[in-house]
Copies of this chain bind each other. A is one copy, B any other.
Amino acid sequence: MNESDRKILRRAGKRITPQRVLILKVIRESGGHLDADEIYRLAKQKAPRLSLSTVYRTINVLKEAGVIEELHLGEEHHHYELRGEKGHHHLICQDCGKVVEFECPFSEQLMRDLGEKYGFEIAAIHLDLVGHCAECRREERK
Give me the interface of A with B, judged by CB distance under 8 Å.
72, 91, 93-94, 100, 102, 104, 106, 110-111, 114-115, 117-134, 137
Contacts and interface: CB of A to CB of B under 8 A. Distances in A.
A133 B102 CA distance: 28
B111 A134 contact: no
B102 A129 contact: no
B126 A131 contact: no
A82 to B, nearest CB: 17
Contact of A131 (B72, B120, B131): B120
B124 A127 contact: no
A102 B122 contact: no
A124 B130 contact: yes
B127 A132 contact: no
A118 B102 contact: yes
A126 B68 CA distance: 20
A119 B91 CA distance: 11
A101 to B, nearest CB: 10
